[in-house]
Amino acid sequence: MADAPTKSYQPINFVQKYGLFDEQWQPKVVAELNDYQFKLVRIEGDFVWHQHPDTDEAFIVLEGELRIDFRDGSVTVKPGEMFVVKQGVEHKPYAAAEVKMMLIEPRGVPNTGSAPGERTAANDVWI
């Protein structure tokens, strides 16, 4: 009789993870890929203008409609869509109603980038 593989690994389920927190603008790490992190976040309303001087930042929208404002325009990102804000580009996320989205960026990148302040969230918080 062959040895059957028996270990059942668990995927990361986004709905299950969102069931673990309600607060907005507080990214939660759910996975790491080398030195990059996948973070789930709820956002609603306006954020602060900021940029990330050392890295690009990827947004994948899971629910709701995200608008990212730039100094010269904007992009609207819906479920099933993504956008990458390039390193050093000033941006301001906005959500008229709550958006659930995934951020992907290197470990240690603060949510407010170049503009630390009262909107700066705790970093590297796992759920």
Site for a copy of itself, rule CB under 8 A: 5-15, 30-34, 36, 38, 55-58, 60, 62, 68-78, 80-84, 87, 104-106
- With 0-12 / 13-18 / 19 or more C-beta atoms within 10 angstroms meaning exposed / middle / buried, residue 91 is buried
Smallest separation, CB 118 to a copy of itself (Å): 26
Query: Which helix (H) or strand (E) covers residue 77, if one does?
Result: strand 73-77
User: Judged by CB, which is closer to a copy of itself: 3, or 22?
Assistant: 3
Cβ 3 to a copy of itself shortest distance, Å: 9
- Contacting residues for 72 by C-beta, under 8 A, at least 6 apart: none
Min dist. Cβ of residue 111 to a copy of itself (A): 16
For a copy of itself, which is the closer residue by CB, 55 or 118? Answer: 55
Structure tokens at 101: 């989205």
CB 115, min distance to a copy of itself, A: 19
Q: Residue 79 carries which side chain, given as an amino acid letter?
A: P
84/122 with CB nearer a copy of itself: 84
70 within 8 A of 89, measured Cβ to Cβ: yes
> CA–CA distance from 29 to each of 75, 85, 116 (Å)?
25, 19, 20
Identify which of residues 61 and 112 has a Cβ nearer to a copy of itself in the complex: 61
